[in-house]
Amino acid sequence: MTTREELRGYIDQLLDCGIYDDFTVNGLQIEGRDEIRRIVTGVSPSRRLFAAAFRWKADAVIVHHGLFWKRSTPHPLVLTGVLRDRVADILKRDVNFFAYHLPLDGDTDFGNNALIGRALGLEDLRIIPESGYRSPLIALGNLPVALSYEEFCKVADQTLGKKGKRLRFSSKPISTVAIVTGAGSDCWQDAVMNGADVLITGEIHESSVREAEEAGICLYGGGHYNTEKWGVRALGEHLAVKFDLEVKFVDVPNPM
């Protein structure tokens, strides 16, 4: 067992949340009961995820994508519609709601990007900043042996558990790999500047396609949701051991 405040302080320090210039609140977004014995982890908030957490009698829910955003919420101080219903569900049951966005992308131990890089067996793996951000975010590393793009995609498909979107814009072998999960295709320029032959991301923006083609870097899209399960799941497994908690990852598949 742990307390809400002990858990909040520990995760904030573990993920070094203060270094990230994010557009959401990282950490405790909705305060619930003080004592925590059971945690449900998931990628994105939904009433489906919350219902599973309530059935399991979770004391806290930890996600990658939170409820409150500076960019995409037109009126972030207004609780109406879907947001109102989600918040009401949580408050009614006195459950704590935590969210960690960029910290669960860029962290060297629990970040989506680094975890996928290690799963691919990348060597000299490092985390570098994305242009416009002061915090480390992009995973960059080298394959032990250079592969053709087709061979690389087979390895990536196997690692991520699904067939990804493939855009080959170079005939060069794949040696250096950049990884920015989620909606990270706009980072193609950072990838090129750091010598990457391919950028792994979740979803590929329309505007990135012709730009990447003209820059000569291959793209691989493994799915936004699918590439961002890694960090929150690993964090939950760590917390279970650290605090002797019951932790369960709830998968709510998303085609994006």
Domain count, the chain: 2
Looking at the structure, tell me whether residues 187 and 215 fall in a common domain: yes
Let me know whether 194 and 158 are in one domain. yes
Q: Are residues 113 and 204 in the same domain?
A: yes
Same-domain pairing of 60 and 136: no
Residue 256 belongs to a domain: no
Q: What is the mean pLDDT of residues 29-49?
A: 98
- 127 & 208 share domain: yes
Instruction: Say if residue 114 is in the same domain as residue 184.
Output: yes
Residue % of the chain over a pLDDT of 90: 90
Residue 234 has what pLDDT?
Answer: 98
Residues 52 and 21 in one domain: yes
pLDDT digits (tens, 9 = 90+) for 134-149: 788 999 999 999 999 9
CATH at 87 = 3.40.1390.30
Domain that holds residue 75: 2-104+228-249
**Does some domain include residue 216?**
yes
Q: Are 256 and 199 in contact (CB under 8 A)?
A: no
Q: Which pLDDT tens digit goes with each residue over 203-251?
A: 999 999 999 999 999 999 999 999 999 999 999 999 999 999 999 999 9
Distance of CA 96 to the CA centre of its chain: 20
Share of the chain above pLDDT 70, in %: 98
Contact predicate 220/197, CB 8 Å: no
Closest CA to 175 of 122, 236, 104: 122
User: In terms of domains, do 160 and 188 share one?
Assistant: yes
Q: Are residues 11 and 42 in the same domain?
A: yes
Residue 73 has pLDDT above 90, yes or no: no
Judgement on whether residues 96 and 163 belong to the same structural domain of the protein: no
Q: What is the pTM of this model?
A: 0.96
Of 22-36, 69-83, 138-152, 158-172, the poorest mean pLDDT is in 69-83
